[in-house]
Amino acid sequence: ILNVEQSPQSLHVQEGDSTNFTCSFPSSNFYALHWYRWETAKSPEALFVMTLNGDEKKKGRISATLNTKEGYSYLYIKGSQPEDSATYLCAPWRGGADGLTFGKGTHLIIQP
């Protein structure tokens, strides 16, 4: 079982501020790293799938970076908005069809 750590566990951010959080995972046998956003009363939705060391992906105000050698990924949100409030999950993929191992997530609350 993969050990996937996400920090912080929860985060309160003022509207308009930028923020970031971390996902740590074992660097061995790495294939890909997924980020998902899970809003209350909705299904988790994929944000990014990253594979290469040094990868950087961007979607609007949200971006992510990947370091496969040291086993971590950062998710950044620029100019936080209330609609960014959600739990952000990361999940490394180790190959095969056996799905993803999810971290416990970072619960982000944007305060107006």
Partner 1 sequence: SQTIHQWPATLVQPVGSPLSLECTVEGTSNPNLYWYRQAAGRGLQLLFYSVGIGQISSEVPQNLSASRPQDRQFILSSKKLLLSDSGFYLCAWSVHQVSNEKLFFGSGTQLSVL
For residues 88-103, b (16+ Cβ closer than 10 Å) or e, as one string? bbbbbbbeeeeebbbb
Residues β-bridged to residue 91: 34
Q: Which residues bind partner 1 (CB under 8 A)?
A: 4, 31-32, 34, 36, 42-46, 49, 51, 89, 91, 93, 95, 97-105
Q: How far is the CB of 79 from partner 1 (least distance, A)?
A: 25
**Judged by CB, which is closer to partner 1: 70, or 97?**
97
Q: How far is the CB of 98 from partner 1 (least distance, A)?
A: 6
The C-alpha atoms of residue 48 and residue 62 are separated, in whole angstroms, by 10
**Judged by CB, which is closer to partner 1: 78, or 94?**
94
**Judged by CB, which is closer to partner 1: 27, or 101?**
101
Q: How far is the CB of 14 from partner 1 (least distance, A)?
A: 27
Q: How far is the CB of 31 from partner 1 (least distance, A)?
A: 7
CB contact at 8 A, 24 and 4 = yes
The C-alpha atoms of residue 33 and residue 56 are separated, in whole angstroms, by 12
**Judged by CB, which is closer to partner 1: 17, or 45?**
45
What are the tokens at 67? 């370091």
